[in-house]
């Protein structure tokens, strides 16, 4: 795929799907650490994370396109995936830092930790799929 934007959007969908599958697996394994145990809560999680992922894609992937392209061309797939995972974790922390530090209860801390893991998984899956999908042309 030669289009940067299309590869980025496709990788966004793959990363979001990986995050949703992980959240679903966490709900099946342990109901106490699950974010939302009912259908309405899971739908809310999916909706909020979709719009958050889309906003982060526009702000953090589309706008600094030049730097992301250079990084994708210079390092291998796994390293790019780990860097995008750290990038996703940083974006989550910056986006929700007021909520994280305001809520000091144990249940809020558990939910925050699960959400941080999910954002890192989203970034990692995005990074690997973007690196595998995007094939730059000579003019880019």
Domain ranges of the chain: 4-133
Could you read off the pLDDT of 35-54 as tens digits, one per residue? 555 666 667 777 777 877 78
In SS3 terms, 11-75 reads as HHHHHHHHHHHHHHHHHHHCCCCCCCCCHHHHHHHHHHHHHHHHHHHHHHHHCCHHHHHHHHHHC
Residue range 44-102, pLDDT digits in tens: 777 777 877 788 777 777 778 788 888 888 888 899 889 888 888 887 777 766 565 56
- Dig out the tokens for 119 from the structure: 């954002």
């Amino acid at each position: 795929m030669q289009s940067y934007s299309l590869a980025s959007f496709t990788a966004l969908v793959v990363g979001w799907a990986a995050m949703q599958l992980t959240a679903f697996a966490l709900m099946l394994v342990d109901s106490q650490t699950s974010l939302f145990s009912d259908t309405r809560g899971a739908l809310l999680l999916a909706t909020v994370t979709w719009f958050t992922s889309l906003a982060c894609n526009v702000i953090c992937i589309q706008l600094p396109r030049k730097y992301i392209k250079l990084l994708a061309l210079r390092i291998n797939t796994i390293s790019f995936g780990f860097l995008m995972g750290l990038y996703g974790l940083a974006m989550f922390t910056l986006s929700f830092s007021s909520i994280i530090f305001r809520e000091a209860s144990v249940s809020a801390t558990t939910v925050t930790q699960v959400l941080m893991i999910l954002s890192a998984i989203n970034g990692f899956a995005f990074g690997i799929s973007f690196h595998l999908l995007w094939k730059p042309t000579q003019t880019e």
